[in-house]
Amino acid sequence: MKPSLLYIPDISGFTKFVNETEIEHSQHVISGLLELIIDSNELDMTVSEIEGDAILFYKYRDVPAMHKLLSQVRGMFLNFHNHLKQFENDRICQCGACRSAVNLKLKIIMHSGELEFLNVKEHKKLFGSDLILAHRLLKNNIEENEYVLFSDNVFNETGEQDIKIFHDWAKVHSGKINYDELGDIEFTYIPLKPLHKHVALPPIGLIC
């Protein structure tokens, strides 16, 4: 059976942002970012669920090549931060939510493996141990606050040769974490901070 891709973009700083800012405006900011992430889906992945601060995408029995995965990461990350930069420069509201939105970050988790579906009345939900592992990987020991994490399944499936195409920002690091019920899990990650140099500055004249 061919493996499936699980792809989870997660908005870091979400809990603090929601808890410490005005709920109406924080809802507006987060919903706009989640919609933008969905619109940045170049790989034609399927949205399984929106999980508060994250979106669970999957590509059934298909794991795209590494250069396509990294192109997706780059485009989604830049769209996210271009939007926040534009929002920061255009905003006229001085509430806590609108002032602190620019501090939100993005991390992305990728894992591949076997996926099954669970039918609950009219709802079709993803099911399986690989789905559990993908969600566990959201909680890890990486010190960077913006990165893309590849489980070994994805990295071994797609190969690392294509990473050289993105040499200006894609610097590969190795990591390992122990989960009580899963044991030691090894992974590869790429910090996304270097991509900030490509975030577009808003046109001059938009600041009030």
Q: How is the chain split into domains, by residue range?
A: 4-197
Fold exhibited by the domain 4-197: Alpha-Beta Plaits (3.30.70)
The predicted-structure confidence for 145-200, as pLDDT tens digits, reads as follows 999 999 999 998 887 777 888 989 999 999 999 998 889 999 999 999 999 999 98
Residue 182 CB: number of other CB atoms within 10 A?
Answer: 13
In angstroms, what CA-CA distances link 207 with 42, 93, 203? 31, 12, 9
State how far the Cα of 186 lies from the Cα of 3, in Å rounded to an integer.
18
The predicted-structure confidence for 17-58, as pLDDT tens digits, reads as follows 666 555 666 777 888 899 999 999 999 999 999 987 899 999
At 31 the pLDDT is 86
* CA–CA–CA angle 72, 82, 22 (5° rounding): 115
State how far the Cα of 84 lies from the Cα of 80, in Å rounded to an integer.
6
At 22 the pLDDT is 57
For the chain, the average pLDDT equals 87
**Across 22-26, 118-122, 201-205, least confident range:** 201-205
The predicted-structure confidence for 150-160, as pLDDT tens digits, reads as follows 999 999 888 77
At 53 the pLDDT is 86
Q: Mapping DSSP to helix (H, G, I), strand (E, B) and coil, where does residue 27 land?
A: helix
At 14 the pLDDT is 60
